[in-house]
Amino acid sequence: MTALAERARAALDPVHWDFFAGGAGEERTLRANEEAFSRRRIVPRVLRGVGDRDLSTELFGTRLSMPVLVAPTAFHRLAHPAGEVGTAGAVAASDTVMVVSMAATQPVEDITATGAAVWFQLYPQPDDEFQRHVVKRAEAAGCRALVVTVDSPVFGRRERDRRNGFDDLPDGYTCENMRDGEGRVREIGFDPTLGWEHVHRLRASTGLPIVLKGVLHPADARLAVEHGVDGLIVSNHGGRQLDGAIATVDALPAIVRAVDGRIPVLVDGGVRRGADIAVALALGATAVLIGRPIIWGLAAGGPSGVRDVLEAFRDELDHVLTLAGAARPSDLTADQVA
Ligand code: FNR
């Protein structure tokens, strides 16, 4: 475990630590994500004049200072009282994007008020009218894209949470963005009957870019493009849904080939060092998202802890690019990964 994770563990209620750190089943996929990155080796290029580097990347009209986004993760107020608003403040200072979870513990309006660029994550809701209400609210708050998580037709079996009896937020906390028109907080719905028609309905109800999160099969990536989706996140939910699912960096190359440059492909799961980001970029990802390390930063140091994590990723990525002979993310090529 990293020193930062140790500090987070010491700061957290053990039940909440298990919620944040854990995965589904035996946690095979959780481990596989990190292991698959550790197995990759970078083949550097030399003498390429990389003194003048630029890490910035554009996604759906937003310029990010680096190809690193904050993944949607639930319940930030359980990690630190500053909650999602605190995380967003750090994201604004680092000039990147925060994907706000549908299970956020603060209102999306307060999160966007920090000035951070925000995308809103949505579990496809079976109640269409309620979903439209949530989407309109995210739009009105200034969110710039919708991230639709499609790897959760049912909720994953998280054995640590079952053992701990953790199945809901403690008193005094709520999923603030699950309020309906009357102000009542709804449960997040999971619905195994949903298909591509749900994406069509969503497409018809919003002008925001739609990014599907949780795609691992190249055939689904191709279908997503055909169904008018604007971006993909190759993800297995940080090993919290299907235990036994393929590691994300192993799934990435086939998806990049299937998409063939038509829409941006992002990836998350197990990204822990600058070298992991470089590998993902070389294999064709436009950017990566970071889940648990952001929570560890928040738990250990509040908003400035999140800032430190983001700046450490920036610093490491810049260093790795220099040593690998790339002045910008797009200079890395697939033949630089062994
Ligand atoms: C998540 N993730 C997640 N994804 C999502 O679409 N909606 C959500 O509400 C959550 N909540 C959530 C809570 C916690 C505690 C974790 C760890 C993860 C998945 C997340 O967006 C991302 O896919 C993974 O976290 C990426 O893996 P790493 O970086 O944590 O290894």
> Could you report the per-residue pLDDT of 25-47, keeping only the tens digit for each?
999 999 999 999 999 999 999 99
Each residue of 216-240: pLDDT tens digit?
Answer: 999 999 999 999 999 999 999 999 9
Angle formed at CA 257 by CA 251 and CA 259, multiple of 5 degrees: 100
Model confidence at 1: pLDDT above 90: no
CA 136 to chain centre: 22
Phi and psi angles of residue 141, each rounded to the nearest 5 degrees, phi first? -75, -10
How far, in Å, is the centroid of ligand 1 from the Cα of 105? Answer: 15
Collapse the DSSP code of 214 into the 3-class scheme (helix H, G, I; strand E, B; otherwise coil) and give the result.
strand
Kindly report the protein residue whose alpha carbon is nearest to atom 24 of ligand 1. Answer: 238
CA distances to 61, 66, 147, 317 from 57, in Å: 10, 6, 18, 13
Average pLDDT over residues 7-21: 98
Each residue of 267-320: pLDDT tens digit?
Answer: 999 999 999 999 999 999 999 999 999 999 999 999 999 999 999 999 999 999
Fold of 2-329: TIM Barrel (3.20.20)
Kindly report the protein residue whose alpha carbon is nearest to atom 19 of ligand 1. Answer: 237
Each residue of 146-161: pLDDT tens digit?
Answer: 999 999 999 999 999 9
Q: What local confidence, expressed as pLDDT, does residue 305 receive?
A: 98
Each residue of 239-258: pLDDT tens digit?
Answer: 999 999 999 999 999 999 99
Strand partners of residue 289: 69, 268
The domain spans of the chain are 2-329
Cβ–Cβ under 8 Å, residues 332 and 282: yes
Atom of ligand 1 nearest to the CA of 151: 6
Collapse the DSSP code of 290 into the 3-class scheme (helix H, G, I; strand E, B; otherwise coil) and give the result.
strand
Instruction: Tell me the pLDDT band of 184, cut-offs 50, 70 and 90.
Output: very high
Give catalytic residues, as residue numbers.
237
Q: Which of 30, 73, 292 to mutate to test the pocket of ligand 1 (most atoms within 8 A of CB)?
A: 73
pTM of the model: 0.99
Task: For residue 226, give both structure tokens.
Answer: 């055909």
Instruction: Tell me the pLDDT band of 91, cut-offs 50, 70 and 90.
Output: very high
How far, in Å, is the centroid of ligand 1 from the Cα of 50? Answer: 34
